[in-house]
Amino acid sequence: MSSVDFESLGLSAPVLKAVKQLGYEQPTPIQAGSIPHILEGRDVIGSAQTGTGKTAAYALPILHRLGGHRQGAAPRCLVPELAIQVAEAFQSYAKHIKGFNVLPIYGGADIGGQLRSLKRGVQVVVGTPGRMLDHLRRRSLDLSQIKGLILDEADEMLRMGFIDDVETILAQTPPECQRALFSATMPPTIRRVAEKYLGDAERVNIEAKTKTVERIEQQYVTVKSHQKMDALTRVLK
Ligand code: AMP
């Protein structure tokens, strides 16, 4: 954990309220490093793994910047993402911002509901690159008002074969839109994407030794699958 607190980072009241209710006491290092730059409107390249509080590192300042007022129906922030938890986290961080809508658009989910929501208007769209491209082809996703784009887990996108889709989306976002890229590693393809789309970004690197939450002790026990519940109960006791 870092020595700064959330209040001193300058986040808006509804965002701070959500953070407090979630029980976050202090920003994690990636949050303390990224939030001030994103609040200032800078592009950010962050090296951080899952579990370091990365989602809040970009979601909190983006929510602060977007504010609560609806300005037209077109989305203002895009988060190509493979994990449904990110949309849920965004929603929980945004819960005290009036009139704020985060829309998860994942492949496999009913497209009708997504089309209706996009028509009604949402501020943030989080979802799989493939489904985003689907909506772009159908012209149901309008990128002309995008002010922020977050590329989370960029190396995972590459590993799973989604990086071309992500680049197609990136190329269609307005050139002046603010961008942040997070990745645990920086393979050459990700470096190239970063150079092309986030040329003058601030870099936030978290030391390997701080990559896990200090106050959580981790242990494992090898058991047969049918013994899992019994073993867990004994550990918890
Ligand atoms: P992430 O790396 O974004 O997947 O976050 C990992 C977990 O840490 C999530 O369950 C978050 O709710 C939690 N978390 C994020 N930031 C903080 C914080 N500042 N204090 C405590 N927990 C946090």
Q: How far is the CA of 89 from the centre of ligand 1 (A)?
A: 9
Q: Convert the pLDDT of each residue in 45-83 to its tens digit.
A: 999 888 889 999 999 999 999 876 666 789 999 999 988
State the total domains in the chain: 1
Q: Convert the pLDDT of each residue in 13-49 to its tens digit.
A: 999 999 999 999 999 999 999 999 999 999 999 998 8
CATH code at 59? 3.40.50.300
Whole-model pTM: value is 0.87
What is the signed CA dihedral for 103, 107, 112, 115, rounded to 10 degrees?
A: 50
Please give the average per-residue pLDDT across 85-111, as a whole number. 92
Phi and psi (nearest 5°) for 202?
-75, 145
Q: What is the pLDDT of residue 137?
A: 97
Q: What is the pLDDT of residue 124?
A: 95
Q: How far is the CA of 92 from the centre of ligand 1 (A)?
A: 12
Ligand 1, atom 19: closest residue by C-alpha? 27
Domain span at residue 165 reads: 7-236
Ligand 1, atom 5: closest residue by C-alpha? 53
Q: Is residue 21 part of a domain?
A: yes
Q: Is residue 204 part of a domain?
A: yes
Q: Is residue 65 part of a domain?
A: yes
Q: Is residue 145 part of a domain?
A: yes
Q: How far is the CA of 63 from the centre of ligand 1 (A)?
A: 16
Q: Is residue 20 part of a domain?
A: yes
| Residue 201 clears pLDDT 80, i.e. is over it | yes
- Which amino acids bring their CB within 6 angstroms of ligand 1? 24, 26-28, 31, 50-56
Q: Is residue 2 part of a domain?
A: no
Q: Is residue 1 part of a domain?
A: no
Q: What is the pLDDT of residue 115?
A: 96
Q: Is residue 34 part of a domain?
A: yes
| Residue 2 clears pLDDT 60, i.e. is over it | no
